[in-house]
Each structure stands twice: as structure tokens, then as C-alpha cells.
Amino acid sequence: MSQTVSLLFGVHAHQPVGNFPEVMEDAHQRCYKPFLETVHRYPDFKFALHSSGWLLEWLFTHHPEDMGLLREMAARGQVEFFGAGDMEPVLAVIPYRDRMSQLAAMSDRIEQYFGQRPDGAWLTERVWEATVVPALADSGISYVMVDDYHFLCAGAEREQLNGYHTTEEDGRRIDVYPISEALRYRLPFSPAHEAVAYIESLADETGSVDNTPAAIYFDDIEKFGIWPETYDWVYGRGWLKDFIEGTLASQTIRSTHIRDHHSETRTRGVVYLPTVSYSEMGEWTLPAPAARRYSELVHAAQHEGVLERDRPFIRGGIWKNFLTRYPEANWAHKRMLGLSERLASLPEGQVRQDLVELLHESQANDAYWHGLFGGIYLPHLRRAVWHAMIQLERRLDGLQARPPLSTGDLDLDGREEVFLTSLALQAVMRPDKDAALIELSSYPLAQNFADTLRRYEEHYHEKAKQGASKAHEGEGIASAHDVVRFKHEIKPEDLTPDTRTRGLFAESWTDFEQKLPVEYATTFVQGGAVLCMGEAGKTRVAKVYSVRDNLLIVALKTVGNGRLSTRLNIAMPCCDGAAGRYVVNGADGQPHIPGGFGQHFTWDALTDLGMEDHYLGGAIRLRSSVPTRIKAQPHHTVSQSEAGFEKIMQAIELTLIWEVDGPFEVNLQLEVAALAR
């Protein structure tokens, strides 16, 4: 009897919550639609599919005909659906109660759409922590997919990784399948016949007498059409068709559902996996200096010819490091956890489905981290998370009112943030040296105007400095991991890291041409206001924050001879798009529109500046009690994506400047309001 190998083939489909409609449509036309149409023609080709809940809902709404194909494949037993957290959270960074509700929501959705309740689950970004086992098991999940790298990091040998193993935590057990890295890098990048031949070669691996070896593949479906060059390769040149036909024609390969393999074979034994994700994540999650050292170790091992052997032991960071690398991600994460706790504390009769759904959306992973794709660098992804959180908080406040002023060390940095809240607005001040606002949320507009991102040093910026890579050579196509492209011209100053916060109201003092940051050392909370006392050299500065209705009020006081300035970074959703514009009162007293947020301007002796965002349907009006010079420019960051290095506008950067000679006081107002329809 000839030896066979079971091909366990699965794909993971995901689009971030809040992604642009045109991006969604392009992904459907170049990937989801042709993939489904191709596999539909081969009923004997069995595959597994996980799709995040938000994407599934979008596809059913906008492309029901393609979802009809998927339902047909489900009815004839061709596709096995995998569960997960419904809005694609990293399960390890949300509470047990939310893991349960996210997993249940996804399983309910699959059962409603396809009449199937999943036995297996996809782990977002394959982030494994043993703490997720109880929720998975308690949700009825029997097995999950992780990388073979996870097993290798635990000391396993590769020849053991052609079946599933069993683990346990807190008295609950679950089975774990190792996804083959070799297959992930071959499919669909190497020619189809070579990929089929490689899978056939795995039949020579034997685990035990009664266990047929398995070739285990489960990876992003977007590699089949969305990644650079893949659309023509996979569909135009017929890679997917050739691969499926080669698989079905093989006398060695059995196209098998993972659930069937799981029920027909025995576990390969117990395993305990370390806290880890796929190997690339270990580098991405490290700060730039550590990432450089990690890269040096990898290249040294590669040069010595021991990388394949030693890579599991040259391990980088863990996913949670992103919350230490990016304070903006940490703040959003801790705000989400606070809202989760508030929701959980409600009496049972007040917990509504709409509240749970908003919490789930706020836990979508994409805006909290960054790797090969834009992630936290993309303002519209962060905005979707904040949009959900602000709506949820407004509804929770309607059920359980909060005081107008409160404090608490929410972000765990050892300092208690100050929350100033009205029915329309919330301002949050972090009492560090800048004493700036790290959040300015409008409840009617569901927008956090302080949702921006500092300019950070990234390890991959070295590639941007060195220039584009050479063209890919040889058969097949290059992986997006291996190609350096540029969407925009990148200058050295674009890569200079920020040394100060990108919040609202960070002050500087210039005396005899020496510009110094105002550093605040003392904060007082009195009445409904926050008083911050600081100094720059020998010059003292006082700053007072208060909130009233839809107004943020800031007073600045100093005495001296020099120049006082304050910098505001204001996140407007349209960024540098056509829907955003400044409005300035001209000499004739009439409002004028000098241009958009992506342009540079300097205005002298200004007391009133409007910022209108017609995409948001809202505006901010800045008023100053003392005429001020205002410099306006866009704040950009540089990040990498699958399409190349790009400059992304994060916020409007306004610098307000006053000449000071003696005692000085200025009162500023930021009024947030909806635009008239």
C-alpha cells in the first residue's frame, strides 16, 4: 500500500474594521471573488476558511452572489469554517469574558450564515498564550492552528510536526495543529507543480503506524491576489487552477478536511508552547535598537549556516511589546479594558447587544500594532476603534453617569491621568513633563481629535535610507517580505523621531534665540479645572484646562521677555483629502478658505481659526483672546506596507506663537461642533 499525505489546506480572510470601501472592493475583485469562483469549480478540493466577522458581514451585504457560492460549497461539504474572535481581536490581550463573547459571536454568525458550528479556531496573528486555552475550550473549540515555529520554540523536532498535539491549561485541554512554514513560503510563490511535488514528498514522513502524515497550510487568503504581483500569477497565469488540479490528480495527496483528520487520527502527544507568534512578529514587535541586534543575530546565524537549526532560539519579542513600543496603542488598549469593565459591571438587564458589539469592534487588532502592513500607522484604523469606544462610553454614561472630573492611572505609567468630562466632550491630560492632552473626544461626533501618532524610529527605516531592492530573479514571484518599494519620496527629515508628545498643548519658550521646552512638574486639580505649573530655564509658565459643554478652555500665563508657543496636533478624519479645509476671517471680516489641511500656512495676528472636516461632518473653531501667529502644516509619519514605504498624514500641526514682554495671559477656546447640513 503506497504512502499518502493528507493536505490540510486553509485560508484566513480579513479586512480591518473601518477599512476604506474602495480598498474592500478592490480586495474582493482581485482576491475573494476569483478565489471562490476557482475553488467552486473543484468540489473534491476540500479547504478550510476563516473570515473575520466584519468582513463576512460586508461580503454578504455587498456581494451576496459570491456568498451564494460559499453557501453552496458549505452545503456540499467542500468547505470547513473556522471560528475565532468575531472582530478579530488578539485573544491574549482581552479579558476572559470578552474572549468568550467574541468566540460565541463568531460561531453564532457562522451557524447563521452556513449552518455549521466550527470545531476549529483561527488565532489572530497566531498569537499564542496558554491563557487563551480555557476560553477556547469553554467555547466548544476542539483545535486551533499555530505555526510550526511555535513548536520548534518548545524544542520539538520538525519530523514530529505532521499532525496535531494536545495541550492543557487550568484543567481544560485543546489540540494544536502546526502550520508548515515551508508551505507558507511556497504557496503561492513557487510554481504550482513544484508546490505539489513538495507536498508529495511529505508522504515519506511517518508519525506512527495509524497516523497518516499531514501537510498543514493555513495562511492569509490575501496572498492569493492582493499581495504585489499575485493577481496575475494566481489567476491570470493560472497558479491556483494548476495547484488544485495537480493536487487532485496526485495519487499521493489526499485533500482532507481538518475536522476529518482530527476525528480520524490520534494526537501526537502533549505539548506546552511558549508565548509566541510567527517568527517575523518577533522582530516587528521590538524597538528599533533591539530589532537591529535581533537582525544581526539572524544574519550571523545565516552566514554561519545554522539559521535553520537555531532560529527558534533566536527569538524576538512578544505581541504585547507593541503596547510598550507605542504609548498611543497602550492608551487605546487600556481605555478599551476600562470600558469592558464598566460594561461587565452593569446589571444584567442593562447589558444590550449593541453595547457588546461596540466593545467587540473596539478590540479589533489592526489598530494596536504594526508589522509588514500599516496597522497603527493608518489613521482610519485607529479612528474605527476610537469611534466604537466613544459611542460605547456615551451609552454607558447614559446608564451610569460619571463625575465631571476624575483621575486614575489608566495606562499604568505611574502617573494619574486627569479626565475632564461633559455631556459633549472629554479631555484627558497626562501629567508628564508636557502636561499635554492625550485625548480630546467628542461624543456627538464620536471622534478623538487627539488620536495621532508620534514619529518613531523603526528598524525598517534603514531600508528606506538604502533605497529600493533589486528586482526579483528566478521562477515564481517575490514575497512582499522581500521587496522594498517607495510610494512616496522619503527625505531624511521624514525619518527623524519625535522627542516630544504629539498631543494638544505642548509649550515652548524662546529666550535670546534659545528655544526650550516648558517642563511641567506640578499638577493641581481644583474645582472643575486642572492647573499645571512648569518652567523653561528661569521662566515659569502656568497652564489651566477646563471643559464646558462642547468647549475646551485653556489658559496660559507667564512673565518674561521672550516668545511663548504651544503646539497642537489635531486629528481630522479627512487628513489631506479634499473634504478638509481651514476657514480664516479676512481683513474684510468675511470668512475665507485659504486651503486644505495638507498645505502649509502662516497667519499673523489671528484670533479665530476654523477647521472644517466635511467627511466627519464636524468642525473645530479655535479662538484666542490675544492675537497670535499661527503656523499650520501636516504631520506625517513614514511606514511600510505591502505596497511600499509611504508618508501618511496623521494630524494637523498648529503652532501658536506670542511675543511676551512682561506679564502675559492668553485664553484659548476649542469649540467642537457638527457642521450644518
Instruction: Could you please state the CATH topology (level 3) that the domain comprising 461-472+493-674 is classified under.
Output: Beta-galactosidase; Chain A, domain 5 (2.70.98)
- Tell which residue, 268, 29, 275, has the closest CA to residue 165: 268
This model's pTM is above 0.85: yes
- Which residues have a Cβ under 8 Å from the Cβ of 191 and sit 6 or more positions away? 239, 475, 476
Catalytic site includes residue 220: yes
Q: Are 133 and 167 in contact (CB under 8 A)?
A: yes
Distances from the Cα of 426 to the Cα of 238, 448, 463, angstroms? 54, 9, 40
DSSP secondary structure code for residue 398 in this structure: H
Q: Kindly state the cell numbers that stand for 375.
A: 496597522
Question: Looking at 125, 181, 200, 613, which residue is catalytic?
Answer: 125
Q: To 10 degrees, what angle do helices 53-62 and 64-75 make? A: 110
DSSP 449-483: TT--------TTHHHHHH-PPPPP-SSS---GGG-
Write down the pLDDT at residue 661.
95
Distance of alpha carbon 88 from the chain centroid: 10
Output the pLDDT for position 505: 98
- In terms of DSSP bridges, do strands 551-570 and 644-674 run parallel, antiparallel, or are they unpaired? antiparallel
Asked if residues 224 and 234 have their Cβ atoms less than 8 Å apart, the reply is yes
Domain 5-277, architecture per CATH: Alpha-Beta Barrel (3.20)
C-alpha cell at 578: 479634499
Q: How far apart are CA 606 and CA 267, in angstroms?
A: 73
Distance CA 555, CA 548 (A): 14
Whether residue 393 contacts residue 116, with contact meaning beta carbons closer than 8 Å, is answered with no
The 3-state secondary structure of 278-345 reads CHHHHHHCCCHHHHHHHHHHHHHHHHCCCHHHHHHHCCCCCHHHHHHHCHHHHHHHHHHHHHHHHHHC
| Separation of alpha carbons 369 and 281, rounded Å | 10
Question: What does the alpha-carbon distance between residue 183 and residue 247 come to, in Å, rounded to a whole number?
Answer: 14
- Residue 234 has what pLDDT? 98
Q: Which of 333, 506, 322 is nearest to 411 (CA)?
A: 333
CB 323 within 8 Å of CB 369 = no
- The rounded distance, in Å, linking the Cα atoms of 35 and 224 is 7
Rounded CA-CA distance 574/593 in Å is 16
Q: How many CB atoms lie within 10 A of CB 285?
A: 23
DSSP label at residue 615: T
335's torsion region: left (phi>0), alpha (psi -120 to 50) or beta? alpha
Spell out the domain ranges in the chain: 5-277, 461-472+493-674
Cell of 74: 458549505
Q: What is the C-alpha end-to-end distance of the chain, expressed in Å?
A: 75
C-alpha torsion sign, points 359, 364, 370, 373: negative
Instruction: Kindly give the pairing relationship between strand 551-570 and strand 504-511.
Output: antiparallel
Fold match between 5-277 and 461-472+493-674?
Answer: no
Q: Which of 72, 169, 220, 498 is catalytic?
A: 220
Residues 6+ apart with CB under 8 A from 508: 515, 516, 517, 518, 536, 564, 565, 566, 567
Block means of pLDDT (10 residues each) for the chain, length 677 residues?
86 95 96 98 98 97 97 98 98 98 98 97 97 98 97 92 97 97 95 97 70 93 93 97 98 97 96 94 94 93 92 93 97 98 95 97 97 91 98 97 96 96 98 97 98 94 64 48 64 90 96 91 93 96 98 98 97 95 84 95 96 97 98 94 84 98 97 91
Is residue 458 among the annotated active site residues?
no
